């Protein structure tokens, strides 16, 4: 089974039934607490009737972050400050790099970036 660090964008596209994400449904999902927080926020904001079920499902995929990864991610974010990339996306991208898996996202800033599986 292929592993990916799922971005909140990817999870929301899966929830919304985007067919382009169907092939990732059987992937081994990795998220961090930042992605989980964004997911919870989006589900509550959208008043998703299945929020509790979705939250429970994805909470089982949370992996811890190494403090050095966060440090590296903030340096990466500074180098990309002109792109307006979120803290969560930078941390998740660096996490994927260190876990030797791809970062699954549809955020336009990550199109054609190494170690990223970009899907719209």
* DSSP annotation string for 32-44: -HHHHHHHHHHHH
This prediction has a pTM of 0.95
pLDDT of residue 24: 98
pLDDT bin (cut points 50, 70, 90) of residue 101 is very high
CATH classification of the domain holding 85: 3.40.50.1010
pLDDT of residue 86: 96
Q: For 48-97, what is each residue's pLDDT tens digit?
A: 999 999 999 999 999 999 999 999 999 999 999 999 999 999 999 999 99
Q: Which domain holds residue 101?
A: 3-118
Distant-in-sequence, close-in-space partners of 35: CB < 8 Å, separation ≥ 6? 5, 6, 7, 8, 11, 88, 92
- Max alpha carbon distance in the chain (Å)? 39
Number of domains making up the chain:
1
Identify the three-state secondary structure at position 110.
helix
Tell me the pLDDT of the chain averaged across its residues: 97
């Amino acid at each position: 089974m292929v592993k990916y660090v799922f971005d909140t964008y990817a999870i929301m596209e899966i929830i919304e039934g985007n067919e382009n994400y169907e092939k990732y449904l059987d992937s081994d999902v990795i998220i961090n607490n930042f992605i989980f927080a964004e997911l919870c926020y989006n589900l509550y904001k959208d008043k998703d009737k299945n929020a509790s079920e979705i939250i429970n499902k994805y909470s089982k995929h949370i992996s811890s972050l190494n403090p050095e990864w966060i440090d590296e991610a903030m340096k990466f974010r500074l180098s990309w400050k002109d792109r307006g990339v979120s803290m969560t996306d930078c941390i998740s991208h660096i996490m994927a790099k260190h876990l030797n898996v791809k970062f699954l996202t549809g955020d336009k800033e990550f199109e054609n970036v190494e170690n990223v599986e970009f899907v719209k």
